[in-house]
Amino acid sequence: MILEAREVRKFYGEFCALDGVSLAVGEGEFVSIIGPNGAGKSTLLNVLTGTTRPSAGTVRFKGREVAGIGPVARARLGMARSFQLIQIFPELTVLETLQAAVASRLGHGTRLWRSLAGDRPVQEGALEAAELFRLADKRHVLASTLPQGDKKLLDVASAFALRPEIILLDEPTSGVSTADKHEIMEILVAAARRIGCQAIIQVEHDMDIVFGYSHRIIALHQGRVLADATPAAIKENTLVVDTMIGRAKR
């Protein structure tokens, strides 16, 4: 398994956000995490990526304990994530944003933003990411002026520019139209295949996206794993349907 969590618990004061969560993700898997608001989805993503240290339990990436390692060490190990709230630099262009990500991967992060344009490996990596995510024709556009769908693509493209072995996505299609959602997912899956990304984990509310792209679905409820199964099995699970999927459709 490339990523594994065992009996993870996370407390905020007396509130238990995660209560004994265990999961494992293997190479080649696309896993979606679903659940109602407050189920612990974002907390789980934060724990899995080392952003938040669990109160108990272990998280291992490629056999190494990664609890609380932080974003820099996470990227060096080969793990990247995107956020529900788009993380972009509004004063930078699309290309400059991607250059920053590539520079971080190559260890050129101490250089001035504008000087990165003369760094050939950084420039080539940024242009490749722009092409993969269909942003090449907008590479000189300020990130802050992009349509919402393109901002989402840029955020995900920045994570992919790190060339991760596994990528974790927090609501990659939130805030965009239905047509844009499927386009984003198709681009994302194609890009993952192109760069050799070994696994994808996403938190997602849109059930069409969840069932359309997942190999496995992990359903969380009140900080616990209610089910961990294939999309077909999840659809047949009355408890999950009644607790989550039916609620999401109403």
Which residues face 199 on adjacent strands? 166
Q: What is the pTM of this model?
A: 0.86
Kindly report the average pLDDT of the chain as a whole number.
87
pLDDT band, residue 85 (cuts 50/70/90) = very low
Q: Which of 73, 123, 50 has its CA nearest to residue 93?
A: 123
Taking 70 as the threshold, does the pLDDT of residue 246 lie above it?
A: no
Question: What does the pLDDT read at residue 210?
Answer: 94
Q: Of 26 and 119, which is predicted with more confidence?
A: 26
What residue spans define the domains of the chain? 3-249
Taking 70 as the threshold, does the pLDDT of residue 167 lie above it?
A: yes
Tell me what the mean pLDDT of segment 159-164 comes to. Answer: 87
The enclosing H or E element of 77 equals: helix 71-77
Question: What does the pLDDT read at residue 88?
Answer: 64
Taking 50 as the threshold, does the pLDDT of residue 28 lie above it?
A: yes
Taking 50 as the threshold, does the pLDDT of residue 248 lie above it?
A: no
For residue 154, how many other CB atoms are within 10 A of its CB?
25
What pLDDT digit, counting tens, does each position of 44-62 carry?
Answer: 999 999 889 999 999 999 9
Taking 70 as the threshold, does the pLDDT of residue 34 lie above it?
A: yes
Whether the CA torsion 74, 75, 80, 85 is positive or negative: it is positive
Of the options 3.40.50.300, 3.40.50.2000, 3.50.50.60, 3.40.720.10, the CATH number for the domain spanning 3-249 = 3.40.50.300
**With pLDDT > 90 as the criterion, what percentage of the chain qualifies?**
50
Tell me what the mean pLDDT of segment 125-135 comes to. Answer: 91
CA 160/CA 213 separation, integer angstroms: 18
CA 100/CA 104 separation, integer angstroms: 6
**224 DSSP assignment:** E
